[in-house]
A = this chain, B = another copy of it.
Amino acid sequence: MGVDCHHTESAQPGLEGAALASAVAAAETKCERTRERLTPPRRRVLELLLEADGPMKAYDLIAAYGQDGEPAKPPTVYRALEFLERLGFAHRIESLNAYVPCRMEGTSHRAAFLICECCGTAEEFEPDFAPQFAAAEAAGYAVRTVTLEARGLCPACKGGA
């Protein structure tokens, strides 16, 4: 990923087996409570995101969609991503044109990311937007959503070369 670094992308191992099933089941439960439907394509895309070791591009998801190797059609994946973002199960990282599953517990959080320019991992964290928010409202703005993406080096890549 980085120009002068050859770490493999592994800082955020994807889920497998029971952990994966459990995460999907949790999403299912959450959907039932709000009368939303975790349909097969939505579930499949969520699985792919959860299994991945890092941010996934839309066309990576499209290529990986079919268990038999058959790709999905783009709208299938983009629609699923739209749903997953709306429900808070996934986030789009604007500066990467890529998507990650939500790693935070709380239902209502504002997503923010620490993106490693070396290994490509994107760690979600809970930011404190209070200062920005206050400044914006003082200027007369009504803020609805905030995108925060910090880029740099993760601990692993910072240490070694």
Query: Could you tell me which residues of chain A, from 34 to 65, have a CB within 8 Å of some CB in chain B?
Result: none
Query: Could you tell me which residues of chain A, from 110 to 130, have a CB within 8 Å of some CB in chain B?
Result: 112, 114, 116-117, 123, 125, 127-128
What number of A residues sit within 8 Å (CB to CB) of B?
32
- A140 CA / B141 CA spacing, docked (Å): 34
Q: Do residues A146 and B147 form an inter-chain contact, with CB atoms below 8 A?
A: no
Q: Do residues B152 and A141 form an inter-chain contact, with CB atoms below 8 A?
A: yes
Q: Do residues B114 and A125 form an inter-chain contact, with CB atoms below 8 A?
A: no
Q: Closest B residue to A127 by CB, please name it.
A: B132
Contact (A153, B132) CB under 8 Å given A147-B94, A148-B148: no
What residues make up the interface of A, taking CB atoms closer than 8 Å to B?
94-95, 112, 114, 116-117, 123, 125, 127-128, 131-132, 135-136, 139-155, 158
